């Protein structure tokens, strides 16, 4: 009997140190191409998870705020209906906002319509010089030029535990079955990943939380990512 998952990520901003370990782990796990310096200057930095750094105050009384932003896996995603080819669609089984690279023709409408700007376009064909291609994850396709991509909550890891050989969806996933690459890499346990449909999971027990907020919640996108932030705790103090 297939049961639906509702994948949820909690980002504890009070714990995030802005170390970027999650970014590196994501690059390795998901074959995310590396944008070179010139591309980054043009505003084409490509990280499925990025640590937005905001400065508050004036030097020397200055505070850094870190905000890890990645695909919010909206329950009501603006990027989905605008895609003419169904490359962006909604998976009820996993509660995820899916992206099928092979269907994408590169209209980039989803990127415009994403208020979080977490959809990335392959402006050029990605280059993995020998022997770097040896480290590519064979579970994840390498996206060619002209294709949109984004954080998938490591869908390949989810599929490995979820899908039966017949292609059906197995029972609901529980904590410990899998982790995403970024949660695995987070040294300060600021990223917590789990299934909100499982009442025993860590995310279910943590939510609702006094410190919780969702990014741009007023847009009604129903994000699956919750940010925790206390009123007085600030990184950099």
Partner 1 sequence: MLESSADRTPYWQEPLPEDDELAQQVAHARDEHLLVDARPPAETNSLMFRAMTRTGPLFWLMVLGLGGLTFALFATWVIQMFYGLGITGLNRSVMWGPYIVNLVFFIGIGHAGTFISAALRLMRMDFRRPIARLAETVTLFGLALAALFPLIHLGRVWKVYYMFPIPTQRELWPNFRSPLLWDATAITAYLIGSTLFMYTALIPDLATARDHLTGWRKRLYGALSLGFRGTESEWSRLETLSNILSYIIIPVMFSVHTIVSWDFAMAIQPGWHSTIFGPFFIVGALFSGVAAVIIVMIIVRKAMRMGYFLREEHFNAMGIFLLILSLTWVYFYFNEYIVTWYGNLPAERAILQMLTTDASPLFYLMLFCNIIVPLGTLWSRRVRTSLPAMLVIAVFVQIGMYLERVLIVSGFLSRNELPFNWINYTPNWPEILITIGTFGFMALLYILWTRVVPIIPLWEVHEGQSRQRLPRIGRAIVPTRTEPH
Partner 2 sequence: MAQEVLLGLFDNLEATTAVLRDLERQNIPDRNIEVMSNVPYAPKVLGRRPTRQWPFLPFVLAGVLGGLAIALFIVVITPRLYPIIVGGQPLTPFPPSAIIVFEFVALGAMAGGFIGFLLQNRYPVLVRQMYDPRISEGYIGVAVRADDQAADSVADIFAAHNAHDVVREDAARYPVQSRRFLAFWAGLAVVGLLALLAPLLLTYNIIDIPWFNQMRESPSIGFQEGPRRAAPAESIPIQGPVLINGQPATEPLPASEESLQRGQLLYEVNCAICHGMQGNADGSMTKYFPEAPVLTTDRVSGMADQEIFMIITLGRNRMPSLAENLTVNETWDVVNYVRALREAGQ
Residue 16 within binding range of partner 1, rule CB under 8 A: no
From partner 2, partner 1, none, interface partner of 216 (C-beta below 5 to 8 A by class): partner 1
User: Which residues, 118 to 147, sit near partner 1 by CB under 8 A?
Assistant: 120-125, 144-147
Secondary structure tally for the chain: helices H, strands E: 6, 10
Considering the complex, state which of residue 116 and residue 153 has its C-beta at the smaller distance from partner 1. 116
| CA angle in degrees (0–180, nearest 5) for 77-83-87 | 90
Which token pair is 206? 């943590």
Q: How far is the CB of 191 from partner 2 (least distance, A)?
A: 26
SS3 216: coil
**Among residues 2 and 62, whose Cβ is nearest to partner 2?**
2
Residue 26 · residue 186 · CB < 8 Å = no
The encoded tokens of residue 198 equal 């499982």
Least separation in angstroms between CB 114 and partner 1: 9
**Contact between 90 and 138 (Cβ < 8 Å):** no
Q: How far apart are CA 81 and CA 90, in angstroms?
A: 9
Given the structure tokens 């070179």, which residue do they identify?
36
List residues binding partner 2 (CB under 8 A): 31, 75-78, 80-81, 83, 86, 88-90, 92, 101-102, 125-126, 128, 131, 133-134, 136-138, 140-147
Q: Alpha helix locations (H) across the chain?
A: 21-30, 37-41, 109-113, 155-162, 181-185, 202-206
| 225-228 sheet: strands from edge to edge | 191-195, 7-12, 225-228, 212-213
If one asks whether residue 83 binds partner 1 (CB under 8 A), the answer comes out as yes
Cβ closest to partner 2, residue 18 vs residue 146 = 146
Site for partner 1 in 35-64 (CB under 8 A): 39, 42-46, 50, 52-54
Q: Which of 2, 56, 57, 105 binds partner 1 (CB under 8 A)?
A: 105
- Of 161 and 216, nearer to partner 1 (C-beta) is 216
Binding site for partner 1 (CB under 8 A): 39, 42-46, 50, 52-54, 67, 69, 78, 81-86, 103-109, 111-113, 115-117, 120-125, 144-148, 216, 219
């Amino acid at each position: 009997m297939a049961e639906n998952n509702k994948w949820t990520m909690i980002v504890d901003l009070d714990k995030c140190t802005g170390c970027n370990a999650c970014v590196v782990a994501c690059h390795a796990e998901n074959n995310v191409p590396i944008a070179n310096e010139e591309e980054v200057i043009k505003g084409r930095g490509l990280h499925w998870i990025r640590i937005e750094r905001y400065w508050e105050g004036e030097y020397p009384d200055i505070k850094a705020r870190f905000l890890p932003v990645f695909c919010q896996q909206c329950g009501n995603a603006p990027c989905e209906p605008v895609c003419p080819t169904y490359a962006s669609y909604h998976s009820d089984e996993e509660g995820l906002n899916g992206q099928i690279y092979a269907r994408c023709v590169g209209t980039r409408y989803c990127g415009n319509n994403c208020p979080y700007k977490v959809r990335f376009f392959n402006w050029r064909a990605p280059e993995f010089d020998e022997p770097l291609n040896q480290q590519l994850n064979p579970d994840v396709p390498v996206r060619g030029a002209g294709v949109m991509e984004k954080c998938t909550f490591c869908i390949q890891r989810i599929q490995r535990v979820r899908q039966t050989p017949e292609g059906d969806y197995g029972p609901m996933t529980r904590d410990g079955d899998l982790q995403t690459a970024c949660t695995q890499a987070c040294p300060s346990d600021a990223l917590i990943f789990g299934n909100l449909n499982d009442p025993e999971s860590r995310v279910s027990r943590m939510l609702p939380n006094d410190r919780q907020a969702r990014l741009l919640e007023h847009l009604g996108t129903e994000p699956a990512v919750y940010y925790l932030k206390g009123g007085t705790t600030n990184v950099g103090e």
